[in-house]
C-alpha cells in the first residue's frame, strides 16, 4: 500500500468536471462505536455534501467500513448522531436507510449468487414496485406494466455499465471484476441520493480499475449521485474525489481536499508511519 501514496499522474483533472456541490446531505456528528471493549470509532464528525465524491481512507482497521455500516444502519453507534438531509435519525435500520435513498456496495461482494445479473439488478427496484402480489403473480394490469417499466429502467443501467453481454448469466459464474460491476449496477438501480462504495476497486487489475473509475465519475456526473467511497488505492482516491476524510485507529485524522490531505503531516505519519521510520 505504501507504494500507492506516491503522487499520481494527472488523469481526469477535477477542474474539468462540471460539478455543482451543494448543501450538506449527510452529517455524522461525534460518532463513537464500540464492540465490547474495542473502540471502532471515537468521536468522528464529518459531512457529505450533495453532488460530491467523498473518499474515506485510512490504514487497515482504521474504522472505514464501520463508518459505512453506521451510515447505512448496519451498526448503531453508542454516541453521536447522524443527520440525513438535515434531520437527525434514530437507530435507522438498513432497509429504512435504503428507503431513505442510501444504496451501497460491499467490500466482499454481496450479490445474490443464484440469480442472473438481470435479476440481481432488478432487486434494486423492489422499493419502486407498487403492484399487489396478485397482480404480479398473474402478470396482469399494473403488475405487467410495472415489470416492463422497471425492466426498461434496469436495461438502461445495464447499457450504462456495459454489462449487456452478461445479462442472463448467474452472477456466481462471473469473474470478480464483473461481479463488482453488477453490484454497482444493483445499487444504481435504487436511484440513490447517496451511494456508498466499500472498496469498489479492491482486487482489480489496472484495466478494471480504470473502468471502475470511469463509471464512478460518470455516475456522479450524469446522475448527480453523491458518492462516498472507501478505497485503498491512493492514486485513485486523489484523482476522483473532491474531499477526503482520513481515519486512523477509529479517530478522524484529517479532512479536506486531496491536496490538503496529501500534505498533512499527521496523514503522512500515519501512512509512512513511525513503524517505517
Which one of 42-50, 113-121, 201-209, 229-237 is the stretch in contact with other proteins (CB under 8 A)?
113-121
Interaction between residue 42 and other proteins (CB under 8 A):
no
Q: How far is the CB of 143 from other proteins (least distance, A)?
A: 8
Own/partner pairs, 233-237, CB within 8 angstroms, 24+ separation: 233/4, 233/201, 233/209, 234/1, 234/4, 234/5, 234/8, 234/57, 235/4, 235/6, 235/7, 235/8, 235/9, 236/8, 236/201, 236/209, 237/55, 237/57
Site for other proteins (CB under 8 A): which residue of 54, 64, 180, 186? Answer: 186
How many residues bind other proteins, per CB under 8 A? 31
User: Is the CB of 65 or the CB of 235 nearer to other proteins?
Assistant: 65
Among 76, 81, 93, 165, contact with other proteins (rule: CB under 8 A): 93
Cβ contact 35:76 at 8 Å: no
Residue from 59, 94, 177, 256 binding other proteins (CB under 8 A): 94
Provide the 8-state DSSP code for 75: S
CA distances from 273 to 26, 231, 237, 255, 270 (A): 31, 19, 19, 18, 5
CA contacts within 13 A on the Cβ side of 261: 28
Stretch that binds other proteins, among 26-34, 185-193, 221-229, 244-252 (CB under 8 A): 185-193
Report how far apart, in Å, the C-alpha atoms of 160 and of each of 105, 175, 191, 201 are.
17, 19, 14, 18
Candidate segments 22-30, 32-40, 111-119, 243-251, binder of other proteins by CB under 8 A = 111-119
| 110 part of the interface to other proteins, by CB under 8 A | yes
Residue 115 engages other proteins in binding (rule: CB under 8 A): yes
Whether 121 and 189 have beta carbons less than 8 Å apart is answered as: yes
**106 lines the binding site for other proteins (CB under 8 A):** yes
Using the minimum distance from each CB to other proteins, give the nearer residue, 14 or 109.
109
Q: Is 170 in the site for other proteins (CB under 8 A)?
A: no
Instruction: Name which position in 62, 122, 204, 236 contacts other proteins (CB under 8 A).
Output: 122
23: exposed, middle or buried (C-beta count within 10 Å: 0-12, 13-18, 19+)? exposed
In 3D, which of 108, 100, 103, 125 has the Cα closest to residue 196? 103
The β-bridge relationship of strands 38-49 and 24-35 is antiparallel
Distances (CA, A) of 4 to 19, 45, 237, 262: 26, 26, 10, 12
Among 61, 86, 114, 273, binds other proteins (CB under 8 A): 114
Query: Is position 202 an interface residue for other proteins (rule: CB under 8 A)?
Result: no
- Closer CB to other proteins, residue 81 or residue 93? 93
Three-class DSSP category at 96: helix
Among 98, 154, 238, 261, binds other proteins (CB under 8 A): 98
Q: Which is nearer to other proteins, 12 or 139 (CB)?
A: 139
Which lies closer to other proteins via its Cβ, residue 179 or residue 235?
Answer: 179
Positions in the binding site for other proteins (CB under 8 A): 72, 74, 93-95, 98-99, 103-104, 106, 110-115, 119, 122-124, 126-127, 129, 131, 133, 136-137, 139, 186-187, 190
Amino acid at each position: 500500500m505504501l507504494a500507492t501514496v506516491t503522487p499520481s499522474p494527472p488523469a481526469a483533472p477535477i477542474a474539468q468536471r462540471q460539478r455543482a456541490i451543494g448543501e450538506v446531505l449527510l452529517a455524522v456528528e461525534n460518532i463513537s462505536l464500540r464492540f465490547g471493549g474495542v473502540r471502532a470509532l471515537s468521536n468522528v464528525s464529518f459531512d457529505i455534501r450533495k453532488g460530491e465524491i467523498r473518499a474515506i481512507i485510512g490504514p487497515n482497521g482504521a474504522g472505514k467500513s464501520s463508518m459505512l455500516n453506521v451510515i447505512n444502519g448496519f451498526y448503531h453507534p453508542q454516541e453521536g448522531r447522524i443527520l440525513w438531509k438535515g434531520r437527525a435519525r434514530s437507530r435507522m435500520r438498513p432497509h429504512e436507510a435504503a428507503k431513505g435513498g442510501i444504496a451501497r456496495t460491499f467490500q466482499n461482494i454481496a450479490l445474490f449468487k443464484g440469480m442472473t445479473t438481470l435479476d440481481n439488478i432488478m432487486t434494486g427496484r423492489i422499493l419502486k414496485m407498487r403492484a399487489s402480489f396478485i397482480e404480479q403473480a398473474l402478470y396482469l394490469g399494473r403488475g405487467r406494466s410495472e415489470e416492463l417499466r422497471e425492466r426498461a429502467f434496469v436495461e438502461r443501467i445495464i447499457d450504462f455499465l456495459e454489462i449487456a453481454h452478461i445479462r442472463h448469466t448467474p452472477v456466481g459464474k462471473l469473474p470478480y471484476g464483473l461481479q463488482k460491476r453488477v453490484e454497482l449496477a444493483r445499487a444504481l438501480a435504487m436511484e440513490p441520493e447517496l451511494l456508498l462504495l466499500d472498496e469498489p476497486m479492491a482486487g482489480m487489475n489496472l484495466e478494471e480499475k480504470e473502468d471502475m473509475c470511469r463509471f464512478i465519475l460518470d455516475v456522479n456526473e450524469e446522475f448527480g449521485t453523491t458518492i462516498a467511497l472507501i478505497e485503498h488505492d491512493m492514486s485513485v482516491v486523489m484523482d476522483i474525489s473532491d474531499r477526503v476524510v482520513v481515519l486512523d485507529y477509529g479517530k478522524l485524522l484529517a479532512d479536506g481536499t486531496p491536496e490538503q490531505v496529501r500534505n498533512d503531516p499527521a496523514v503522512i505519519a500515519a501512512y509512512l508511519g513511525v513503524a517505517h521510520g
